[in-house]
Chains A and B, each alone.
Chain A
Amino acid sequence: MDIWSLPRSRLGELIALLRARGYDVVGPTPRDGAIVYDSIESDAELPVGLGDEQSPGQYRVVPRDDGAVFGFAAGPGSFKRAFHVPEERLYRVQREGKTLRFVPEPVAPRKVALLGARGCDLSALRVLDRVLEGDRYRDERYAARRSEVLLIAVHCGSPSSTCFCSSMGTGPRAGGPWDLALTELTSGEHRFVVETGSPIGLALVRELGLLTASTLDKIHAAKVPVVAAQRITRRLEADGLGARLAKNLDHPRFAQVAERCLACANCTQVCPTCFCTTIEDFTDLDGAGAERRRRWDSCFNPEFSYIHGGPVRPSTRARYRQWMTHKLSSWHEQFGSSGCVGCGRCITWCPVGIDITEEARAIASAGTSEKAT
């Protein structure tokens, strides 16, 4: 497989080419003090020369002196929003005489190119694919939105302190499948080393008329995610974690973390794999019609598990335990993988900085040490 070189000055041409081919390009862009994913029209909208500093409960955009375009880690948003939308109408019902007419809400066809997807984000999409279209309970709306998606990955060179993808096996190098994968090199002439992973990716490279990358650049590019991995200090010991957590469901640590937990649902909303929704029915004021809507919801809301008589999980302890053990333990049985990709969003965007790696370590290690603090 050949490897190519894209000068930084020509990145805009790639975006223009994608747009000319009818893709809505969704990529990183600075907004309101964060780097978020949104539709972009040119490379001027990318976070040029911006990085981030993250720690539990804190995020700041900071300038970089190398002009890097992809020099940041996971932000508050993920690509989940593009396919598993926060709120939508599913159908309307119209009263017609003595019958009801159901009118499903169509999903507008849209070709999407995800620009700058990191290994964690791509892994998260694969997890969501498995959940939402991987078996007989297919979410046709998600599947429709996901049907024409071009993936342009970036091998990560700028992990934050809350990242732990290396221990989850999801990064910093972005695992395929992707159509193109870029590695950004800023020393010397600012450029991207480009790998192709599909016929469409190769066609894009050919249309741009890219030259093959030098041997030296290939070596430099291969080092980028390796060096990034060395900078990642946070870890989740993923081997056997699910089984160890499942054995310790009554661990006192769950009550302790519940004392610190706000049950505000932020962790579930920033998580790129949390998929829970609620279904709500509304009527027209005159009762002539009604509609059914679906919105993002969270297992941290008491209402989420409400059935006749009360919520199934009445305490924050029960709800935190549900979230963590589903993500790290029962997800394996249900969907054949971990529900966590190690992006660290739940740690950064928890207003009080609760760290899932720290909690999981404490709870899973109880078998070897009963001292749970």
Chain B
Amino acid sequence: MRTPKKPKLAVFKLASCDGCQLSLLDCEDELLAVAGAVEIAYFLEASSRIVKAPYDLTLVEGSITTAHDAERLQQIRKMSKKLITIGACATAGGIQALRNFADVAEYARVVYARPEYLSTLATSTAVAAHVPVDFELRGCPVSKAQLLEVLNAFLNGRPPRIGSHSVCLDCKRKGTVCVMVAHGTPCLGPVTHSGCDALCPSYTRGCFGCFGPSASAHPSALRPALTRLGKTDAEVARLYATFNAAAPTFAAEHQALAPKKGPAA
């Protein structure tokens, strides 16, 4: 009897810090089981061995910031049966999407001695803005547990169980006391997508919004509460202008509140 062929897994990186693909290597206890269940066909962070396309499951980290990557992404899509994006860069453009609200040429002049050597786009965009994506896994970085759940779901042919509710629901399930109501700590939990298991509030910190907007996020409704806790409009804008700055719901809020030149910096 022939053993069924293991699905081929590929991991590609665009403009990103590598943190999300490292989450996969960080799955210490489960890594062997994953490696046993799939054939790691393309994963340069882990191995220089490359198996030819096509790939059954492709994970893509990073955003599109260059014409070259935009072209590469088309190739990646063609080589992949299922394509799943991982992390804030791939799903929302990442921190580098702050350029979308500013002048990239000016940024380049400030940062680089010879900006003319750069070839970069004016925007940083999510993968889904360029090619069809089968599933988007949020977070900066993604949660190890959720990444495993996505792989597990793929291997077993079922939809991933990834909730799109607010961080608040996770705080309440855990019994974490609300840092905003009980301590007066500004927190983006009420508008932020779950996934981190409400990490920061469980260490009495406010949520930073690493997982981007929740399904029902309503930042303008949170504004009065943040104002009451002493945040100026510019400071509120700054809260949203981070890893998910270009996620439409967050972008609308920091653009509505930011001082009129460029993003809050």
Q: Kindly provide the distance from the CB of A46 to the nearest chain B CB, expressed in whole angstroms.
A: 17
**Chain A residues positioned under 8 Å from B187 (CB to CB):** 351
A31 part of interface (Cβ distance < 8 Å): yes
**Chain A residues positioned under 8 Å from B37 (CB to CB):** 285-286
Q: Kindly provide the distance from the CB of B203 to the nearest chain A CB, expressed in whole angstroms.
A: 10
Contact-size category for B: 35 or more
- Contact B161 A86, beta carbon cutoff 8 Å: no
Give the complex CA separation of A262 and B183 in angstroms.
19
**Chain B residues positioned under 8 Å from A270 (CB to CB):** 172
Q: Indicate whether A348 sits within 8 Å of B181 (C-beta atoms), given known contacts A81-B175, A264-B189.
A: yes
Mask of A287-322 contacts with B, CB within 8 angstroms, 1/0: 100000001111011110000000000001001000
Interface centre among B30, B148, B161, B169 (most CB of A within 10 A): B169
Contact residues, A216-257 vs B (CB, 8 A): none
- Contact B156 A301, beta carbon cutoff 8 Å: no
- Contact B182 A266, beta carbon cutoff 8 Å: no
- Which listed residue, A259, A265, A281, A284, touches B166 by the CB 8 Å rule? A265
A349 part of interface (Cβ distance < 8 Å): yes
Q: Kindly provide the distance from the CB of A212 to the nearest chain B CB, expressed in whole angstroms.
A: 40
- Which listed residue, A265, A284, A351, touches B180 by the CB 8 Å rule? A351
- Contact A351 B34, beta carbon cutoff 8 Å: no
- Contact A280 B180, beta carbon cutoff 8 Å: no
- Contact A302 B181, beta carbon cutoff 8 Å: no
B224 part of interface (Cβ distance < 8 Å): yes
Mask of B159-188 contacts with A, CB within 8 angstroms, 1/0: 001011110110011111110111110010
- Contact A262 B222, beta carbon cutoff 8 Å: yes
Which one of B44-52, B60-68, B213-221 contacts A? Answer: B213-221
**Chain B residues positioned under 8 Å from A287 (CB to CB):** 155-156
A60 part of interface (Cβ distance < 8 Å): yes
**Chain B residues positioned under 8 Å from A349 (CB to CB):** 178, 181
B183 nearest CB neighbor, chain A only = A33
Q: Indicate whether A285 sits within 8 Å of B190 (C-beta atoms), given known contacts A296-B169, A296-B173.
A: no
A202 part of interface (Cβ distance < 8 Å): no
- Contact A303 B173, beta carbon cutoff 8 Å: no
Give the complex CA separation of A122 and B221 in angstroms.
34
Q: Kindly provide the distance from the CB of A347 to the nearest chain B CB, expressed in whole angstroms.
A: 11
B152 part of interface (Cβ distance < 8 Å): yes
Give the complex CA separation of A113 and B164 in angstroms.
37
**Chain B residues positioned under 8 Å from A264 (CB to CB):** 166, 168-169, 189-191, 214, 216
Give the complex CA separation of A59 and B174 in angstroms.
19
Please give 11 more A-B residue pairs, beta carbons under 8 A apart, in addition to A32-B182, A57-B225, A260-B224.
Answer: A33-B183, A76-B178, A86-B174, A261-B218, A262-B190, A262-B221, A263-B218, A280-B161, A303-B215, A319-B216, A352-B222
Listed A/B pairs (21) with beta-carbon separation below 8 Å? A32-B177, A32-B204, A33-B182, A76-B181, A76-B182, A81-B175, A86-B174, A264-B168, A265-B169, A266-B178, A269-B168, A282-B149, A282-B152, A284-B152, A285-B33, A285-B34, A285-B155, A296-B173, A297-B169, A300-B216, A302-B215
